[in-house]
Amino acid sequence: MRVVVQRVSSARVAVAGEVVGQIDHGLLVLVGIEAIDTPADGEWLANKLAKLRIFADADGQMNRSVTDVGGGILLVSQFTLHASTQKGTRPSFNAAARPEQAVPLYEKFIIQLGLALGRPVQTGQFGAMMKISLVNDGPVTLIIDSHSRE
């Protein structure tokens, strides 16, 4: 699994003009599921995200996690995170998991992330055309891949 994590002051996702998920301060997490991913990838990422110290402490240092600050998480599926642009100018998405594999892993990841965070997470709608609005705080944006374990 690959995620793009953005520390946000607020974020929301809409489908067909209707808001389906939103948070105030916290993390917007875009997740791409690869064909080789397993529930263990989701468990590792969920624990990493809940404990990732990218929020400021009293001294302005990034020493607090989303859990520590009581922030929310908005999780949005995004298969394009596994695009390959190696050949030509049209991306290939062959590495991305097909929906029949990705949906159960995505749904499991929602549960794993909620357990690691200690409260439910907000989500987009898998496979839908979504409009995401956010106020990036910092900006702080990270890319984490469960296969490189960085």
Q: Read off the CATH number of the domain in which 139 is found.
A: 3.50.80.10
The domain in which residue 58 lies consists of 2-145
Helices (H), the chain: 39-51, 99-117
The pLDDT > 90 percentage for the chain reads 83
How many structural domains comprise the chain?
1
Segment 30-81, tens digit of pLDDT: 999 999 999 999 999 999 999 999 999 999 999 999 999 999 999 999 988 9
Give 148 or 102, the one with higher predicted confidence.
Answer: 102
Two tokens at 23? 């948070």
Confidence of residue 119 (pLDDT cuts 50, 70, 90): very high
pLDDT at position 55: 97
From the list 6, 67, 79, 122, the catalytic residue is 79
Pick the catalytic residue: 61, 80, 93, 141? 80
Structural domain contains residue 90: yes
Q: Is residue 150 part of a domain?
A: no
In our burial notation (b when 16+ CB lie closer than 10 A, e otherwise), range 65-95 reads bbbeeebbbbbbbbbebbbeeeeeeeeeeeb
Q: Is residue 79 among the annotated active site residues?
A: yes
The pTM assigned to this predicted structure is 0.94
Residue 55 lies in a domain: yes
pLDDT value at residue 94: 84
Buried b (16+ CB within 10 A) or exposed e, 10-23: bbbbbeeeeebbeb
Parallel, antiparallel, or unpaired for β 55-56 and 18-23? Answer: unpaired
> Is residue 109 annotated as part of the catalytic site, yes or no?
no
Contacts of 6 (CB under 8 A, 6+ apart): 27, 28, 29, 30, 134, 136, 139, 140, 141
Q: Is 123 marked active-site?
A: no
What separation in angstroms does the CA of 105 have from each of 17, 56, 109, 114, 115?
A: 27, 32, 6, 14, 15
The residue annotated as part of the active site, out of 6, 55, 67, 78, is: 78
In a domain, 8, yes or no: yes
